[in-house]
């Protein structure tokens, strides 16, 4: 990157300050540029693209339809599934698909109702042994207290309309059937079970930054999103350290990035790896006025401005809601 002159430096800072609410531009326009220091920051990455597969069991009420069971053919193992039509572009952050495993369907007895299609009503069968129930359990009518008749002040009786003269009422929950419809199997007593493959593609990233003392206070993520010059870009099933004939430092740095390779889960396999090393130019600018001074950084070829903490012309003192969107 070409060296920045004073006019360009001020324009970049003024533009950066102009996007911040409650920041004044006077220091950027008038303060003296005390020092300009250029340095290079090296950014190394190792992206490991993996495919992870696991099997889960899904069930649904069985309503009598035909099933895709082992009589239709052998059940495929999870890594025998052909998912080429759904394979994503290499090094996408993540993608997930669900795929039914062919010939894995079976009919099972519902465990919630033990195949009866109903579960015991706890309202009228609360005192029964687990799994046992009685039908036609009735409760006393609260209107006539079990008499079937309503007594009046003149000594006459009339038929209780609530219980129709029976003195008892059926269970309000189950209608005295003793059982409630099982929601798990929808009352059928059976479940259709199948194996489903959960397939995930994702990129595991290892990132490393080698910054000189002049840029050590800048967060690593600033360099990762900045535009630099790629010194190497290799792609292989398993990347090895890059080789630079004229730079022991870059060879060592590449080896350190490779050595910090992300751990791959045991349920996954590696599809491909990509190793890059880039150099990002950084300019540290110090501005001063009387006994005050502050520093900022101009990072990458896209010339992003980074201010860590202090800027002398800020007026909201942390009370303004605009601070919620500030990205220093």
Distance of CA 324 to the CA centre of its chain: 23
The answer to whether residues 6 and 141 belong to one domain is: no
Check the CA dihedral 64-68-69-73 and report its sign: positive
Give the Å distances, CA to CA, from 202 to 141, 196, 274: 64, 19, 13
Which of 88-92, 128-132, 173-177 has the weakest average pLDDT? 128-132
Q: From 181, 209, 232, give the residue that closes a domain.
A: 181
At residue 325, the pLDDT reads 45
At residue 327, the pLDDT reads 46
At residue 322, the pLDDT reads 56
Q: Which residues span the domain enclosing 4?
A: 1-37+286-327
Does the pLDDT of residue 324 top 50, yes or no? no
Does the pLDDT of residue 163 top 90, yes or no? no
Rounded Cα–Cα distance for residues 219 and 284 (Å): 14
Q: Does residue 194 sit within a domain?
A: no
Does the pLDDT of residue 313 top 50, yes or no? yes
Does the pLDDT of residue 326 top 80, yes or no? no
Q: How many domains does the structure of the chain reveal?
A: 3
Q: Can you name the residues that pair with 170 across neighbouring β-strands?
A: 138
* Contact in structure between 172 and 2 (CB atoms under 8 Å): no
Q: From 129, 152, 181, give the residue that closes a domain.
A: 181
Task: State the first-to-last Cα distance of the chain, in angstroms, to the nearest integer.
Answer: 23
The answer to whether residues 225 and 86 belong to one domain is: yes
Rounded Cα–Cα distance for residues 46 and 262 (Å): 8
∠271-274-275 over CA atoms, to 5°? 150
The answer to whether residues 251 and 156 belong to one domain is: no
Place 131 in a pLDDT band, splitting at 50, 70 and 90: low
Q: Does residue 237 sit within a domain?
A: yes
Q: Does residue 207 sit within a domain?
A: yes
The answer to whether residues 312 and 213 belong to one domain is: no
156: tokens are 């006459």
Does the pLDDT of residue 181 top 90, yes or no? no
Does the pLDDT of residue 321 top 60, yes or no? no
Q: Does residue 195 sit within a domain?
A: no
| Per-residue pLDDT tens over the stretch 257-268 | 999 999 999 999
Q: In the chain, pLDDT over 90 holds for what percent of residues?
A: 55
The answer to whether residues 303 and 154 belong to one domain is: no
3-state secondary structure of 39: strand
Q: Does residue 193 sit within a domain?
A: no
Mean pLDDT score of the chain, rounded to an integer?
88
Does the pLDDT of residue 317 top 70, yes or no? no
Dihedral of CA atoms 76, 80, 82, 83 in degrees, nearest 10, equals 100
204: tokens are 């595991």
The answer to whether residues 205 and 103 belong to one domain is: yes
| Per-residue pLDDT tens over the stretch 20-37 | 777 888 999 999 999 999
- Residue 41, classified by CB atoms within 10 Å of its CB into exposed (0-12), middle (13-18) or buried (19+), is buried
The arithmetic mean of pLDDT across residues 267-273, rounded, is 95
Distance of CA 212 to the CA centre of its chain: 35
The answer to whether residues 75 and 208 belong to one domain is: yes
Does the pLDDT of residue 93 top 70, yes or no? yes
Q: Does residue 196 sit within a domain?
A: no
The answer to whether residues 107 and 209 belong to one domain is: yes
The answer to whether residues 214 and 275 belong to one domain is: yes
Q: From 181, 211, 232, give the residue that closes a domain.
A: 181
Q: Does residue 189 sit within a domain?
A: no
The answer to whether residues 69 and 213 belong to one domain is: yes
Which of 57-61, 128-132, 295-299, 317-321 has the weakest average pLDDT? 317-321
Q: Does residue 312 sit within a domain?
A: yes
Which of 21-25, 68-72, 228-232 has the weakest average pLDDT? 21-25
Q: Can you name the residues that pair with 51 across neighbouring β-strands?
A: 201, 269
The answer to whether residues 85 and 106 belong to one domain is: yes
The arithmetic mean of pLDDT across residues 55-81, rounded, is 91
Residues 6+ apart with CB under 8 A from 152: 158
Place 166 in a pLDDT band, splitting at 50, 70 and 90: confident
CA atoms within 13 A on the CB side of 124: 22
35: tokens are 């020092």
The answer to whether residues 65 and 109 belong to one domain is: yes
At residue 173, the pLDDT reads 79
């Amino acid at each position: 990157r070409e060296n920045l002159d004073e006019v360009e430096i001020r324009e970049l800072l003024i533009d950066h300050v102009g996007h911040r609410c409650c920041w004044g531009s006077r220091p950027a326009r008038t303060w003296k540029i005390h020092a300009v220091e250029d340095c290079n920051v090296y950014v190394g990455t190792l992206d490991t693209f993996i495919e992870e597969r696991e099997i889960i069991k899904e069930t649904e009420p069985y309503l009598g339809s035909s099933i895709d069971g082992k009589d239709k053919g052998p059940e495929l193992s999870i890594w025998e599934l052909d998912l080429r039509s759904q394979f994503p572009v290499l090094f996408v952050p993540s993608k997930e698909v669900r795929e039914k495993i062919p010939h894995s369907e079976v009919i099972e007895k519902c465990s919630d109702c033990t195949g009866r299609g109903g579960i015991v009503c706890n309202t009228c069968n609360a005192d029964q042994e687990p799994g046992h129930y009685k039908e036609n359990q009735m409760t006393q009518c609260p209107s006539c207290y079990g008499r079937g008749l309503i007594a009046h002040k003149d000594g006459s009786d009339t038929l209780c309309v609530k219980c129709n003269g029976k003195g008892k009422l059926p269970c309000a929950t189950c209608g005295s059937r003793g059982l409630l419809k099982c929601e798990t199997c929808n009352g059928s007593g059976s479940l259709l079970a199948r194996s489903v493959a959960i397939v995930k593609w994702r990129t595991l990233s290892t990132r490393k930054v080698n910054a000189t003392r002049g840029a050590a206070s800048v967060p690593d993520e600033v360099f990762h999103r900045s535009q630099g010059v790629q010194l190497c870009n290799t792609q292989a099933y398993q990347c090895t350290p890059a080789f630079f004939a004229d730079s022991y430092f870059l060879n060592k740095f590449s080896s350190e990035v490779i050595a910090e390779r992300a751990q791959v889960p045991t349920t996954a396999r590696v599809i491909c790896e990509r190793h890059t090393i880039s150099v990002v130019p950084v300019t540290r600018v110090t501005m001063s006025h009387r006994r005050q001074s502050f520093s900022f950084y101009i990072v990458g070829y896209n010339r992003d401005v980074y201010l860590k903490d202090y800027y002398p012309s800020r007026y909201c003192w942390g009370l303004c809601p605009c601070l919620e969107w500030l990205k220093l």
